[in-house]
Structure 1
């Protein structure tokens, strides 16, 4: 058996790029609740058919879905209400996905660069970051690239800021929208779920 002093094999990637909601923190349910409440105030009842327009989407995309015939000013107002409703729920506390803290700590120990690539606006990201206890080298939030997920722009921007080749980055995602974005950027994608939790660094290295 190798001793603790045995050199580790080089990790097969340059950086790890993490989604936030549903990947590191279990906030997808909070986002759905916030969206349902705002939709109800607009006279809409949401159901399973609306999920692809909410799960993993930016606030602006979801606002446009809730008010499809509205002008931009109205959509912006709906987006603001969605953000505040979501923020109110996050302020009450969020559950960190099992394995997330351990994986982030292991990546820090190995000096592997990490980025947070979120479909949430920066104001929401800043509320969540303290619960993760990790310093990301790069944070890319919604609205900080020309296009959001499912387009590749956020992942390409994170890789650019890290000076990493997207093809040698692992993107950790939970939603079809995020998976599509990371795949389009050329990243290797590790799909996780809040119920199963995140793998440890050894498993990631073998995947």
Structure 2
């Protein structure tokens, strides 16, 4: 969702930088990249480690409340589509393919974002607080495949971050990688594209073919 369909990763970036200052210091570029696409728990752990304050449960809980309130404010200012993302979703749905939204964002913030995206684009959705472990663990994609009633090896994931790509690949999905805020390393089953603009049925078929794991 964030960074793949919606240009909302930059809003998380704003909120994380402000939270870092709130906790006592600026966020380094290394820390920023490590938090991109991460679950809130992982992102907060990385941030606390970078700043040095002890990760007492109460302090982490307070930081999460602060972060979610700020992200909610930023989401309320409006969410923009990533270039070509809406048309790409329409193309996929026009082919009669079942789809699931798989995001590390928690349900409380995913729901208003779905109002922008359009719920009719998806047969199911999985949020970071609905699985044992968020991305980069495979749990979100395994749950998404389960809800669709398919084997994850028969799924094509679309991802923009190293974290999300690792999760999809670990689940056994083929992955169309469209990087947004951070470079994504190459790997088995990964096909790269500069963007979603103009994504066609033929393009999807080619990604599926080229992303097949080696025999």
TM class by smaller structure: 0.7 to 0.9
Per the alignment, residue 13 of structure 1 pairs with none
- Over the aligned positions, Cα root-mean-square deviation in angstroms equals 1.5
Q: Alignment partner for residue 195 of structure 2, among 173, 189, 197?
A: 197
Q: Show structure 2 runs of 5+ residues with no match.
A: 182-193, 208-215
Instruction: Compute the displacement of 1:66 (Å).
Output: 2.6
CA deviation profile, 1:10-47 (whole Å, cap 9, x unmatched): xxxxxxxxxx0000001111111100101101112112
Runs of 5+ consecutive residues of structure 1 not aligned to the other structure:
1-19
Contact 1:59–1:83 under 8 Å retained in 2: no
CA offsets 1:70-90 (integer angstroms, 9 cap, x no match)? 211211111121111111111
Conservation of the 8 A alpha-carbon contact between 1:121 and 1:141: yes
The answer on 1:29 being equivalent to 2:10 is yes
Higher relative contact order (CA 8 A, sep 6+): 1
CA contact (8 A) 1:98 1:194 kept: no
Aligned equivalents of 1:110 and 1:134: distance in 2? 17
Q: Give the alignment of 1:1-40 within 5 angstroms.
A: 20-40=1-21
Counterpart for residue 9 of structure 1: none
TM-score by length of 2: 0.83
CA offsets 1:74-131 (integer angstroms, 9 cap, x no match): 1111112111111111110111011111111122222210000101111111111121
Q: Secondary structure at the match of 1:67?
A: helix
Check whether the contact 1:30–1:89 (CA below 8 A) recurs between aligned residues: yes
Q: Could you tell me how far apart the structure 2 residues matched to 1:132 and 1:124 are?
A: 13
The one of 99, 109, 113 equivalent to 1:128 is 113
Q: 1:70 aligns with which of 34, 51, 55?
A: 55
Equivalents in 2 of 1:201, 1:123: separation in Å? Answer: 33
Instruction: Give the match for residue 185 of structure 2.
Output: none
In 2, are the aligned partners of 1:102 and 1:200 still within 8 Å (CA)?
no
2:8 and 2:80 in contact (8 A); partners too: yes
Superposed CA offset, 1:184-204 (max 9, x none): 000000001349431333311
Aligned residues: 188
- TM (norm. structure 1) is 0.86
> 1:143 is paired with a residue of what secondary structure?
helix
| Structure 1 residue aligned with 2:144 | 158
SS of alignment partner, residue 21 of structure 1: coil
